[in-house]
Amino acid sequence: MKEKIQIIIKGIFAENPTFVLILGMCPTLATTSSAINGLSMGLATAFVLMLSNLTISLVAKLIPDKVRIPSYIVIIAAFVTVVDLLMAGYLPDIHATLGIFIPLIVVNCIVLARAESFASKNGAVDSIFDGLGIGLGFTLALTCLGFVRELLGDYSVFGHKLTSGDGMILFILAPGAFFALAYLMILFNIVKRKFVKK
Amino acid sequence: MAKESSFKNMTLTLLTITFVSSAVLAGVYELTKDSIEAVRIQKINRGISDVLPPFDNNPSDDVYKKYVDGDTVYVYPATKDGNSAGAAVQTFTNNGYGGKFVLLVGFLADGTINSINVISHSETPGLGDKINPKKSGFSLQFQGKNPETYKLAVRKEGGDVEAITASTISSKAFCDAVARAYRVYREDVMKQEARDGDTGATSNKETDNQ
């Protein structure tokens, strides 16, 4: 069990997909205009990541080497579409907020990267935990980024306005995403280095 | 690691995977089709009741589509006790700062704007997104105005609409969308109802005679 928890923590911290692996920058920058959006996108990705990691770890041995990438992509795309359809049908309220982000998960390179570098070489249980860890790491990063951008850009926290006024709109727009990401990455690495020294 | 690749097993694997995936998707699609459709109709109905006074019919049953300016405008007529209670018109504009945006405009039977809701848009957050009644009072100034006398253009262009500060493009596009909705409503619904009203009056007389 300790090993499994190790896998999760590795995904959140040592191999954080956003701050360390620097993967999946497109959804990271595009969907973090508020903390809620970041959180939602992170959780949706984590869910797909767990399912796709599980499936791919089960079928990886049956897939010939040269066609593994197209096979993984088809499996991932199928899962994303299933999640999208189920949410649209049975959880319409969540789908209304998350809807536009769901199809984006197919092209999120984190999912394919974990399929290729972890799930295809490890067992089913480890792969689920890897999906969970990486997914939580991604969620954490996106929520932080959304939190900072929303706070500076709109003076609000999780949709609640702190003071009146427009805030620094730049932070909600695209350039703000780059600024916020850069500074959060510096912060994350300073903290990480301290922990590693201990 | 994985098996050695040969033409035969690669083709077979890809065929199997795509076949299984499409089978699963077809199954899930069939399973969720009805409830997705129900959700869609419910969403439209909720949107319609947000912009219209109370009605007792099902407006999406009588939806009327009109193709104008390169896209479709939807008219959802509402009735209360058999009388027209106005209509919700789903309209659009292509002139937004972020391209197209879609509005739902509620008209009373005489053409007065009851309320306006934003269905979808990609205007700039913090600037153009103030077209949304949740973000600013911009769209509220249209309430209770009749476009017959209320000029749907921003003040700068001689109209009656107070534009959003620093978002003249979004404000102008909003007026464009509302004006399009009114054009369709006036041409196709109010005139039609006027004609129906005439025949209605005659048939009433006939009943009286009987």
Residue B143 lies in a domain: yes
Residues of A in contact with B33 (CB under 8 A): 89
Cβ <8 Å between A67 and B10: yes
B113 within a domain of the structure (yes/no): yes
- How close is the nearest chain B Cα to the Cα of A11, in Å? 24
- Note whether B136 and B125 are within 8 A (CB): no
Nearest to A167 among B4, B21, B126 (CB): B126
CB contacts, 8 Å: A166 with chain B: 126
Helices (H), chain A: 2-12, 25-31, 35-59, 68-90, 92-98, 109-114, 124-154, 174-197
Nearest to A65 by CA among A128, A126, A131, A121: A121
A with B: how many residue pairs have Cβ under 8 Å apart?
86
Range of the domain at B181: 52-202
Q: A88 and chain B: CB distance < 8 Å anywhere?
A: yes
pLDDT band per the 50, 70, 90 thresholds, residue B210: very low
Chain B residues touching chain A at CB-CB below 8 Å: 1-6, 9-10, 13-14, 17-18, 21, 24-25, 28-29, 31-33, 35-36, 39, 42-43, 124-127
Q: Is residue B86 part of a domain?
A: yes
Residue B27 lies in a domain: no
Secondary structure E strands in A72-159: 156-157
Q: Which residue in this structure is represented by tokens 């937004």?
A: B96
Element (H, E) at B199: helix B191-209
Please check whether residue A161 touches B, CB under 8 A: no
| Contact (CB<8Å) A89/B36 | yes
Contact A50, A124 (CB under 8 A): no
B203 band by pLDDT with thresholds 50, 70 and 90:
very low
Domain-embedded: residue B71: yes
CB-CB neighbors (< 8 A) of B126 in chain A: 153-154, 166-167, 169, 172
Does pTM surpass 0.90? no
pLDDT, tens only, A15-27: 888 888 888 888 8
Largest CA distance in chain A: 59
Is residue A89 less than 8 Å (CB to CB) from chain B?
A: yes
Query: What mean pLDDT comes out for the span B14-34?
Result: 93
Give the nearest chain B residue to A155 (CA atoms): B126
- Domains held by chain B: number: 1
Domain contains B138: yes
Shortest distance, CA B39 to any CA of chain A (angstroms): 7
Is B14 inside any structural domain?
A: no
Q: How far is CA B93 from the centre of its chain?
A: 11
Whole-number Å distance between alpha carbons of B111 and A110:
53
Q: Are A70 and B43 a contacting pair at CB < 8 A?
A: no
Secondary structure of A177-194 in HEC code, one letter for each residue: HHHHHHHHHHHHHHHHHH
User: Is A74–B21 a contact, with Cβ atoms under 8 angstroms apart?
Assistant: yes
Q: Do A68 and B2 touch (CB under 8 A)?
A: yes
Q: Is the pLDDT reported for residue A111 higher than 50?
A: yes
CA atoms of A24 and A15, how far apart (whole Å): 13
For residue range A26-60, list pLDDT tens digits in order. 888 888 888 888 888 888 889 999 999 999 999 98
CA-CA distances (angstroms) from residue B102 to A159, B73, B88, B135, B177?
23, 10, 13, 16, 8
Average pLDDT over residues B88-108: 90
> Does A146 or A3 have the greater pLDDT score?
A146
DSSP assignment of B110-124 equals TS-EEEEEEEE--PP
**CA distance linking residue A54 with residue A120, whole number of Å:** 10
Axis-axis angle for helices A174-197, A124-154 (nearest 10): 120
Instruction: Indicate the average pLDDT of chain A.
Output: 87
* 3-class DSSP assignment, residue B166: coil
Q: Is residue B110 part of a domain?
A: yes
How many C-alpha atoms does B52 have within 13 Å on its Cβ side?
32
